Amino acid sequence: MKIDLVTIFPGILDGPFRESMIKRAVEQNLVDINLVDLRLYTEDRHRQVDDNPYGGGYGMIMKPEPIFKAVEDLKSRSEDLPTKVILLAPQGRSFNQQIACELAEEKHLIMICGRYEGIDERVRTALVDDEISIGDYVLTGGELAAAVVVDSVVRLLPGVLAEEASTEESFTEPLLEYPHYTRPRVFKEMEVPPVLVSGNHGEIARWRREKSLEITFRRRPELLKKVNLSPEDRDYLEKIKKQQS
Ligand code: SAM
Q: Which domains does the chain have, with CATH numbers?
A: 2-163 (3.40.1280.10), 186-244 (1.10.1270.20)
pLDDT of the residue at 162: 82
The answer to whether the CB of 135 is under 6 A from ligand 1 is yes
Which protein residue has the closest C-alpha to ligand 1 atom 27? 89
Q: Of 55, 62, 66, whose CA–CA distance to 118 is shortest?
A: 62
Contact 127, 85 (CB under 8 A): yes
Which protein residue has the closest C-alpha to ligand 1 atom 5? 90
pLDDT, tens only, 6-30: 999 999 999 999 999 999 999 999 9
Q: Which atom of ligand 1 is nearest to the CA of 132?
A: 25
SS3 80: coil
Determine the distance from the C-alpha atom of residue 64 to the mean position of all C-alpha atoms in its chain, rounded to a whole number. 26
pLDDT of the residue at 172: 77
The answer to whether the CB of 140 is under 6 A from ligand 1 is yes
Contact 149, 104 (CB under 8 A): no
pLDDT of the residue at 104: 98
- Encoded amino acid at 151, one letter: D
pLDDT of the residue at 237: 97
pLDDT of the residue at 119: 97
pLDDT of the residue at 240: 96
SS3 192: coil
pLDDT, tens only, 99-151: 999 999 999 999 999 999 999 999 999 999 999 999 999 999 999 999 999 99
Cis peptide before 184 (omega within 30 of 0): yes
The answer to whether the CB of 115 is under 6 A from ligand 1 is yes
**pLDDT band, residue 66 (cuts 50/70/90):** very high
Beta bridge partner(s), residue 94: 133
Distance from Cα 137 to the centre of ligand 1, integer Å: 8
**pLDDT band, residue 87 (cuts 50/70/90):** very high
Distance from Cα 180 to the centre of ligand 1, integer Å: 35
pLDDT, tens only, 158-192: 999 986 676 777 787 889 999 999 999 999 999 99
pLDDT of the residue at 170: 75
Which residues have C-beta within 8 Å of that of residue 60, sequence separation ≥ 6? 50, 51, 52, 53, 116, 117
pTM above threshold 0.75? yes
Q: Tell me the average pLDDT across 221-237.
A: 96
Residue of 138, 144, 152 with the most ligand 1 atoms within 8 Å of its CB, for mutation: 138
**pLDDT band, residue 244 (cuts 50/70/90):** confident
pLDDT, tens only, 207-216: 999 999 999 9
The answer to whether the CB of 141 is under 6 A from ligand 1 is yes
SS3 208: helix
Pairing state of beta strands 61-62 and 50-51? antiparallel
pLDDT of the residue at 81: 94
The answer to whether the CB of 86 is under 6 A from ligand 1 is no
- Encoded amino acid at 136, one letter: D
Which protein residue has the closest C-alpha to ligand 1 atom 19? 139
Q: Which atom of ligand 1 is nearest to the CA of 87?
A: 16
pLDDT of the residue at 164: 64
